[in-house]
Amino acid sequence: MKSPTSLTIPIILFLLIGFSGCEKYERVTDSTETSAYSGDFLRKFYDLQCQITKETPGFFPPQAARAFSYVGLTGYEAVVHGIPNAKSLAGQLNGLSANALPQPEVDKAYNWAIVANAASAEMMRKMFELNLSEQNLQKINEMEDYNYSQLYAANPLPVADRSVAFGRAIAEAIYQYSMTDGGHQAYLDAFQLPYILPVGDHCWIPTGATVHPICPYWGECRPFLNQNVVGTQPPQHLPHSADVNSDFYAAAMEVYNQVNNNSAEQIEIARFWADDPFQTCTPAGHTFNLLSQLLEEDDATLAKTAVGYAKLGIAENDAFISCWKSKYDFVLVRPFTYIRQHIDPNFNTVIGTPPFPAYSSGHSCEIGVGETVFTEMFTNGDGKYELSDRTGLQFGFGIRHFSSFSEMAEECANSRFYGGIHYQMDNTEGLVTGRKIGYIVLNQIQWPEVN
Amino acid sequence: MARGKLRLLPFVFIFTVLAACENEPTKKVTVNPIQFMADLHCEAVSLRKARFELADKMRFMEDTLMQSSTSDSAKALLRTQLDNLEPYKDSIVNRSLELSKIIKFTLDSLIEQEFTEMVQRKSFDVELAAELEKRGCR
């Protein structure tokens, strides 16, 4: 039998090794940088969000853009501490104070991919919340679990647990912030009644079975950057007139002539960008799908992926607020109504006219921000990019090819003219607004360099 | 669950083709991705046309309903017809959504695993467009 003394040294050695192991465990402070992870799993969340947007009642374009934007913001804040020299958006966005978001614990390691996974899943659940079906809730949970199983392997359990907790805390804090922006749970009340429509010759009236216009007070929502609304409002539109010699009559006649002389290609373009009856995840969703495609083509890291979705999200959210403000400030009648009243009582559009006023075009605003963000992220600034938009294949459309992002944006804007649902001034001014918002988002916020 | 099923679809398809050829075990059978995508896309084109046709029909009926010149009896008939279209609309939308998931998954798989280089993707785009043109799926 060994003496107690002979056992003492091995026991002490064992304990020392054990404790030193534990210390080393908890002292890891050099978390792997965000850019070391692939952004693939985050892109999959946006694919899923697109699908859920289609299947969840109440997600019209403004609501959908808002949901995409807060998930984007959450993804960025989940990984920002793993990007060298990156600055949180807290303190940079309207109403989000510098100390509003939880901070990672000092001297503790995090897996930023696990943080982003937990945060994005949680925020998606919160954005669709009351209207989220059981089936779609399960899909989010399954995606989160699957990603976690792929991501946690290399990490000690405390790091993984801490990362999940931090991700959920970020999502909760941003959700609290979202609740005060004026669009909280707006999917439950798309028509924001009571709303009294102004009356006048120039004023919008229903163009179909939907007698109330969508989201009349959306322009009062809090933007992420005030300048995106106050600094981007379009000028007064052409003065309304029924005079056949007026500029307004000419603008309506231009729509009428276009619809009656559309080529097969122009009809295809109108339908492609219309984002299809009963089918797509709204125009903003189309642009997010394009961003996902571009990130995949770029083999983007998690850092670039998160920054990309945040940039586009902030810009898209504010584009819809700015555009909706002008829509309800001007309440301009649609070409459909004007043409039937003054040019041809049997006029019909190529695609259905959406139930809200004309000026300016929502599609043009939102694709304008897409153009600006894509140009900054994927080109040297000239906007040239050989883009094959395959997002329509799943809906039975062909692949559309563009040699620059401006060509893409202009086609989208023009599609509303070919469709007969917008005057050209709606589209040109909408594009200007969108491009301005994109520029403000890229320049007024301090973004990290991730290219 | 549905996602899991969708993941298996291309493999199920390939397995089916292989199983059909089990009497010739030495013959290697490969599924041409262009042909496979074209098969899916042609169905999607038919559904797209049906969706637009239905959407147009419904909005023109709604338009007639809104006109003051339409008689009450005609309006009542139109409302019934519109209601009767709802099940067809649900059916076509559901089928379209299911097919769009399959196409999206198949396309993503091809892009991420088969055609990883941009030059391959461009070639895929061209070949697919030519095949669709040949089949008249536009």
**Confidence at residue B66, expressed as pLDDT on a 0 to 100 scale:** 82
ipTM score over 0.90, yes or no? no
Q: Which residues on adjacent β-strands are paired with residue A388?
A: A401
The answer to whether residue A155 scores a pLDDT higher than 60 is yes
Q: Quick one: how far is CA A263 from the chain centroid?
A: 32
Q: Which pair of tokens denotes residue B83?
A: 């209601």
Chain A residues lying within 8 Å of B63, measured CB to CB: 208, 348
| Per-residue pLDDT at A259 exceeds 60 | yes
Min Cα separation A397/chain B (Å): 7
Q: Is the pLDDT confidence value at A373 over 50?
A: yes
What residues contact residue B112 under an 8 Å CB cut-off, 6+ apart?
A296
Is the predicted pLDDT of residue A27 greater than 50, yes or no? no
Q: Which amino acid is residue A293, in one-letter code? A: Q
Is residue A244 assigned to a domain? Answer: yes
The residue type found at B76 is: A
Confidence of residue B30 (pLDDT cuts 50, 70, 90): low
CATH number at residue A216: 1.10.606.20
CA distance A365 to chain B (A): 25
Answer for the pair A387, A402: CB distance below 8 angstroms, yes or no: yes
* A244 in the same domain as A174: no
Peptide bond preceding A194 in cis form (omega within 30 of 0): yes
Sign of CA dihedral A89, A95, A96, A99: positive
- Please state the domain count of chain A: 2
Q: How far apart are CA B40 and CA B106, in angstroms?
A: 9
Give B104's contacts in chain A (Cβ within 8 Å). Answer: 47, 394
Residues spanned by the domain of A417 = 191-444
Residues of A with CB under 8 A from a CB of B: 47, 51, 54-55, 135, 138-139, 142-143, 206, 208-209, 271, 276-279, 296-297, 348, 352, 386, 388, 390, 393-399, 401
Residues A169 and A211 in one domain: no
Average pLDDT over residues B84-102: 93
Of B12 and A42, the structure prediction assigns the larger pLDDT to A42
Cis peptide before A406 (omega within 30 of 0): no
Judge: B107–A393 Cβ closer than 8 Å, yes or no: yes
Looking at the fold, whether A157 and A195 belong to one and the same domain comes out as no
The two three-digit tokens of residue A199, written as one number: 């009356």
pTM, two decimal places = 0.89
Subunit contact B107:A209, Cβ cutoff 8 A? no
Q: Which three-class secondary structure state does DSSP give residue A401?
A: strand
Residue A220 lies in a domain: yes
Token pair of A73 as six digits: 């913001």
Domain end (from A145, A178, A211): A178
DSSP state of B114: I
